[in-house]
Structure 1
């Protein structure tokens, strides 16, 4: 549904009024459009340590305009604060900061940029995961990057986002895929996130269709976020299999026909659901997206057993049972990708949602626990945790709560189903096996949770 406050705040009169009285002034976010060729439409600035050189080598595939801010002229054209172009994307390599005194490089690099950013800019800081560093002072310096990046993300304006990527040993080869996502409008509603990359041998062969040749199953696909996920996976080249409950059959079949995919109507909580699903997938599957979910909100004092059981059965037990069956039967191929749709409610909690929050936290725990066990088959498993997303469900929230949900983020607005779908599509890529056991929040850096 339309966010009328954004429409008002971006009108000539509204902009003057909200600025005068100090109200939030969210901007319309730039999002990925069909036909776009490059991840970055504007100037990319690179600086910092040794990984900056590698970013510079792949930069020509990201944008036509690369600049450097530092001492390495090989990274591109020198950028001069106040004289260079507005910056659409920024990458700073902080992986070689090993002492408190060196952290001042963060201020020295980013401070001159803050008034020279373009509309909807995307910033990325590179580091090394503190838990992999033996030297305490160096680990401390790298952990400091998290506090800096989350805070700076909250200071950005005009739709800006910032992420911290901890690059593990051997994961440098997967930087391009991560930067293609986090420096582009595909990550428009992702900000303040910390992502760990590890070594992954798989590579994307065609960036225009990164999922070509792969089969994807999406549950709860008939409408809303599930339908958007299916559309985005198909856009990226996947052959899609769409699953939903029998009452949604008409919508499901129409979407499958439009995407050139196949539909399965199935109650995922049925006793024989796993057997039915495996029978419907004789050629196996490469990507599984557990999107199906329900809410039955009540405070715990008023929570009925039926409400509790239904939510836990659909949201948590069914993904566990179905994924286990797909693994045991070999239906889920090696180098597969499993994506679980969690929620920031599962991270921060939410009044009246003890059942829902428990189920979504359980999915995050499932990803964390299963990740090391699936690595021997090079299968990754991650959770995507949306915040306030503009859907039919949120459209029925009372006005005051809906407005609060929209404004309680660094970006000052709700996200779109496309934002969740883009995150899922990135995690589904072959090279995104570099990310596993993690929860990626798509929430505009909500003030709830971390």
Structure 2
């Protein structure tokens, strides 16, 4: 559904009226198109550690205009703040204030990225304080950025270099227009695993991917995005959605599997279909889900069980079949769709929030099981996304919900799909058991 307010305030008259009345002024976000440059302008790498030097050298090899010091009044595509050797909060001052001097020079839809290490892995209280300080700093700064600019962070596990494949993959994702609606978030890279694709525009070439709930909405957009990135698709949805499923499958040149994912044999049927039709199975995207909203005082057994069975119990059963299969053991990838409702809660969605919280718990517990095969499982937690479901929300409530994030607008299904495509790629091979929010940095809740 079109956000007519955002369109209006980006016209000359609308911009003037919004400014005079002090109304929100959401920017038109730069979203990914095949063949576009990664960034359009200089990238400043701030930091005086060897890790900063190595990262700057790597970015130069990407044919980027990389600077170690900003030129005053020069418009910048991105600022990358390397804080990989922090041992005390006092050490934040120099690099942070150096970056602060360039913030006004960030282009519209510019990027600020931090590279730091997790506080939980610090060897002293001083180091833990400094590292946790980066968390508060980055999330606060992301709320100050304007004109569609975003701020995100990469957390490097102990022993993980600034130039390890998945660190570079995360940096590339955050720099790119693929991350347009990801803001104020951190991605943890725990290992040196992963590999950057030979062709950045087709990072999933040669992969076979399954997408559940693929007949419409976000699921259909996930299918289109994975196809664009080179994957061969198996699309799954219920028999009642058969015509729409076939239409999407034809569009992406994939195969359609009409299936109730709550069935006891659903996992094995998915594996058999992928192997018989395409010879392998590399990626499974758990997108299928439903809502049956009611206040808890009015909740009944049917609504509760339907949501739990489809949104989480089915994923658990399918994952058990995947983990047991000999056909899902070559750097396999699972990506589940969770929700910010499972993080911050949402009135009238106790069943839905329980199921989506369950997805996140499942992802964290399954991660080490997949790691033994070089695989990963991660989740994407969308916030307010412009879909047929959100279009049915009453007008006033919908408008408020759209503005309650740092980017002051709703996301698009493509924003969720782009994030899933990244997490499904080899470039994310060192990212495991993570939940990445695609919410424009919600201003309420956790």
TM-score by length of 1: 0.94
Structure 2 counterpart of 1:73: none
Matched positions, count: 438
1:170 aligns with 2:154: no
Specify the SS of the correspondent of 1:313.
Answer: helix
Structure 2 counterpart of 1:406: 402
What pairs with 1:210-289 in structure 2 (closer than 5 Å)?
210-282=203-275, 283-289=279-285
What pairs with 1:29-68 in structure 2 (closer than 5 Å)?
29-36=29-36, 38-48=37-47, 49-68=49-68
Structure 2 counterpart of 1:197: 189
1:138 aligns with 2:127: yes
> 1:5–1:63: structure 2 CA closer, same or farther, 3 Å change rule?
farther
Specify the SS of the correspondent of 1:181.
Answer: helix
Structure 2 counterpart of 1:90: 79
Q: In 1, distance between residues paired with 2:201 and 2:270?
A: 31
Runs of 5+ consecutive residues of structure 2 not aligned to the other structure: none
Structure 1 counterpart of 2:437: 441
Specify the SS of the correspondent of 2:329.
Answer: strand
Offset at residue 153 of structure 1 (A): 0.2
Matched-pair contact (CA < 8 Å) for 1:40–1:63: no
Q: In 2, distance between residues paired with 1:133 and 1:208?
A: 37
Specify the SS of the correspondent of 1:357.
Answer: helix
Offset at residue 333 of structure 1 (A): 2.6
The answer to which of 13-22 and 116-125 deviates more is 13-22
Q: In 2, distance between residues paired with 1:52 and 1:30?
A: 27
Q: In 1, distance between residues paired with 2:270 and 2:91?
A: 55
Structure 2 counterpart of 1:428: 424
Specify the SS of the correspondent of 2:332.
Answer: strand
> Displaced runs of 4+ in structure 1, greater than 4 A?
none
1:25 aligns with 2:29: no
Specify the SS of the correspondent of 1:120.
Answer: strand
Offset at residue 111 of structure 1 (A): 1.8
Specify the SS of the correspondent of 2:429.
Answer: helix
Q: In 1, distance between residues paired with 2:64 and 2:134?
A: 29
Structure 1 counterpart of 2:337: 341
> 1:63–1:183: structure 2 CA closer, same or farther, 3 Å change rule?
farther
Per-residue CA distance 1:186-214 (angstroms, 9 max, x = gap): 10000100111122333134223111111
Matched-pair contact (CA < 8 Å) for 1:43–1:63: no
Q: In 2, distance between residues paired with 1:431 and 1:34?
A: 18
Runs of 5+ consecutive residues of structure 1 not aligned to the other structure: 70-78
Per-residue CA distance 1:240-288 (angstroms, 9 max, x = gap): 1111111111121122122121111101112332332233233331111
Q: In 1, distance between residues paired with 2:7 and 2:319?
A: 43
TM-score by length of 2: 0.95
Specify the SS of the correspondent of 2:194.
Answer: coil
CA RMSD, 1 decimal: 1.4
Per-residue CA distance 1:104-136 (angstroms, 9 max, x = gap): 124412221121110100110111112222122
Q: In 2, distance between residues paired with 1:388 and 1:105?
A: 37
Offset at residue 91 of structure 1 (A): 0.7
1:386 aligns with 2:382: yes
Matched-pair contact (CA < 8 Å) for 1:100–1:141: yes
Offset at residue 336 of structure 1 (A): 0.7
Specify the SS of the correspondent of 1:397.
Answer: coil
1:417 aligns with 2:413: yes
Q: State which of 391, 395, 408 in structure 1 corresponds to 2:391.
A: 395
Matched-pair contact (CA < 8 Å) for 1:18–1:25: yes
Specify the SS of the correspondent of 1:25.
Answer: coil
